[in-house]
Structure formats: C-alpha cells, structure tokens
C-alpha cells in the first residue's frame, strides 16, 4: 500500500482503533463484574460452611430438640386426667386434695347406716344414695352437687324421713406438694332449701372446708381438713327427735387421716374426725374413729367400704357403709 493511500485512509484507521479500544474496555469491565460476582458467591459458600457461633448453635439445637417435644405422647399423657387412678371424696370425712380435671365427670354414691343408743332412746339412721356429682371446669377448679335421702327411726318418737337440703359447692386446687408445703384444696359450699319438710332448714346454709395433705413416698399419706359451717349444713348427724329448723348455730370441723397403699388396686385409711358446735344452746361435740378400704376395678371405677365408731356420748355408737364411684 502506498504512502498516499495510508495517509488517505488514516481517519478510518483511527476510528477502527478507537472502536477496538472501547470494545476492549467494555470486555474488561464486564469481566471485572463477573469476577466480582464469582468471588461473592464463593465467599457466601465459604461463610455457610463455617461453624456457627455458640449462641446460634445453642438456639438451633433448642429448636431441633424442643419444638417436636410439644407433640410427644408422653407430654400429652402427663396432662391427661384419666392417666392416673381416680380419687374420691366420699366415704371418709376427710376429702381428697385432688380435683377431677378439666371436662371430667365423676359420680360418687353409696349407702350409710348409723346406730345410736341414748339412754332409753334408740336411733337407726339410713341414708342413700349419697350422690356426689363432680365436673371439672378447669384443671384446678370443679363444680359439685350432693344429693341425699334419709330415714331416721326412733324407738319412742315420731320417725323422720325425706330428702336433705342439696349441697352445691366449688372446689379449687390451691397448691401442690413442695417439701413441707402440702397439697391443698379449698371448697366453698352452701345448701339450697329444697329438702323435705322434716329435714330442711328452709335457709341457705354456707360452709367452707380447707383440705391439706402430704405424700410420703409411694405408699403413705397424711391428710387433714379444717372447716366451718352454718347449722352443720343441715347434715343428718345434727337431726334428731328434737330437731327444730329454726335453730341457729355454728359448727367447725377437724379431721386427720392416715392413708396407705395396700396393693396395686387397694388403698386403706385410718381416720379421726370431730364436729364442734353449740346446737340449741347446748354443746354438741361428736368425735369418731373411722377405717375404710377402696378397691379399684379400673382407673375409672372403684368400690369402697367403711366402718366407724363414736368416742363420746354425742356420737353414734357405730356406723357402716359402702359405695363406689365412676369417672367419665
């Protein structure tokens, strides 16, 4: 190519050179961006492969171990009120510190005979069905009602028979045993004047009972109760041949019971209880000893028998009864 041709084509060559330089610059710029992206990806992968800090490891381990445990059968079983054998409040004077549990219905029932020989007057008393209906409103609170019919036969006075004033109450589980702090429950109760003419006081009669107890290993327990009532809750124990529904008096009660697990299905107890009142202007303080046995057919069904005898002149000579309970 001649010198003249080169000089004539110099502008075109300059343009080609400039275009080549711009192209190379664009390629280098894009290459840098690609390299930067590749390096960032490698850095992220390396970071993900690094061990987590101890706090993060602990949190991750907690998530892995704690969340599934919410759904383990063992946890659900521990909160199931049907997982443990039932406990009743009937037949012994001292009630249980337990409540039935949320949504549980428990029926307790029985029969009682008592005999008293007071000088020339003899009394024979029969009561049934001793029906106690319990329903769990929550895990710690239950509502209850008690219904009973009585027949009292006297050797020289007119006999008495009819339905006793029904009892309605709330029972609340207060505390669980921690060292010397006892299992405990509080019952607030009142009668409703719906009983028969011979047995009703015609008034609402309030009362309170505080129950407390300790368990010693798997086989022994000690339970007590302290209570107070107006007119003895119109209980059949306060009704005799001289009973006047217009009487007004106050009574407080105290009891202590030693329980023992005899076999896998059988438990027994030995109990003292007393009632202390001024009825009709006179002191009335019956005291009793009482023994009984429960036998579990299943966790939700049992039967019981009991026998007791009086310790002073205000008490019945003896009483005996049997009954049972079912849980739904």
Please tell me the distance from the alpha carbon of residue 246 to that of residue 201, in angstroms, as a whole number.
7
Task: Please tell me the predicted confidence (pLDDT) of residue 31.
Answer: 46
Which residues make Cβ contacts (< 8 Å) with residue 182, sequence separation at least 6? Answer: 97, 175, 212, 213, 214
Judged against a pLDDT cut of 70, whether residue 3 lies above it is answered with no
Residue 206: other Cβ atoms inside 10 A: 15
Task: Please tell me the predicted confidence (pLDDT) of residue 169.
Answer: 97
Containing 307, the helix (H) or strand (E) segment is: strand 301-310
Helix, strand or coil, per DSSP, at residue 25: helix
Task: Please tell me the predicted confidence (pLDDT) of residue 70.
Answer: 41
Task: Delimit the domains of the chain by residue range.
Answer: 3-49, 86-327
Judged against a pLDDT cut of 50, whether residue 229 lies above it is answered with yes
Task: Please tell me the predicted confidence (pLDDT) of residue 96.
Answer: 95
What's 243's DSSP letter?
A: -
| DSSP track, 224-241 | EEEEEEEGGGG-GGG--T
pLDDT band at 38 (very low <50, low <70, confident <90, very high): very low
Q: Which of 264, 268, 258, 266 shows the shortest CA–CA distance to 306? A: 268
Please tell me the distance from the alpha carbon of residue 170 to that of residue 143, in angstroms, as a whole number.
5
Helix, strand or coil, per DSSP, at residue 4: helix
Could you say which of 2.40.128.20, 3.90.1560.10, 2.40.160.40, 2.60.40.1180 is the CATH number of the domain covering 86-327? Answer: 2.40.160.40
Strand partners, 283: 278
Q: Which of 126, 171, 124, 121 shows the shortest CA–CA distance to 146? A: 171
Judged against a pLDDT cut of 80, whether residue 215 lies above it is answered with yes
Task: Please tell me the predicted confidence (pLDDT) of residue 48.
Answer: 46
Mean pLDDT of all residues belonging to the chain: 81
Place of tokens 């020339």: 120
Task: Please tell me the predicted confidence (pLDDT) of residue 34.
Answer: 42
Select the highest-mean-pLDDT range: 30-44, 110-124, 203-217: 203-217
What's 60's DSSP letter?
A: H
Question: pLDDT of 166-179, one tens digit each?
Answer: 999 999 999 999 98
Would you say 225 and 255 are in contact if contact means Cβ atoms under 8 Å apart? yes
| DSSP track, 134-166 | EEESSSSEEEEEEEEEEEEEESSS--EEEEPPP
């Amino acid at each position: 190519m001649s010198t003249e041709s080169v000089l004539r084509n110099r502008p075109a060559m300059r343009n080609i050179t400039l275009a080549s330089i711009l192209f190379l610059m664009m390629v280098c710029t894009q290459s840098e961006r690609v390299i930067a992206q590749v390096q960032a990806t490698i850095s992220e992968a390396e970071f993900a492969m690094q061990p987590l800090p101890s706090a993060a490891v602990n949190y991750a381990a907690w998530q892995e171990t704690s969340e599934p445990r919410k759904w383990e059968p063992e946890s659900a079983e521990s909160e199931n009120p049907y997982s443990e054998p039932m406990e009743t409040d009937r037949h012994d004077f001292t009630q249980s510190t337990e409540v039935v549990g949320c949504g549980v219905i428990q029926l307790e029932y029985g029969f009682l005979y008592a005999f008293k020989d007071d000088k020339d007057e003899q009394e024979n008393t029969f009561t049934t069905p001793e029906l106690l209906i319990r329903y769990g409103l929550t895990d710690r609170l239950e509502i209850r009602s008690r219904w009973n019919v009585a027949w009292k036969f006297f050797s020289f006075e007119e006999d008495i028979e009819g339905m006793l004033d029904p009892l309605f109450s709330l029972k609340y589980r207060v505390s669980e045993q921690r060292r010397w702090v006892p299992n405990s429950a509080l019952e607030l109760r009142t009668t409703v004047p719906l009983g028969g003419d011979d047995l009703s006081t015609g008034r609402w009669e309030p009362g309170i009972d505080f129950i407390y107890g300790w368990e010693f290993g798997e086989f022994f327990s000690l339970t007590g109760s302290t209570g107070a009532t107006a007119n003895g809750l119109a209980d059949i124990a306060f009704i005799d041949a001289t009973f006047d529904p217009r009487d007004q008096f106050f009574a407080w009660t105290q009891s202590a019971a030693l329980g023992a697990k005899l076999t896998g299905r059988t438990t027994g107890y030995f109990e003292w209880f007393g009632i202390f009142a001024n009825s009709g202007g006179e002191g009335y303080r019956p005291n009793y000893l009482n023994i009984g046995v429960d036998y579990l057919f299943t966790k939700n069904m049992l039967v019981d028998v009991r026998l007791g005898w009086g310790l002073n002149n205000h008490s019945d000579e003896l009483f005996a009864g049997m009954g049972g309970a079912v849980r739904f």
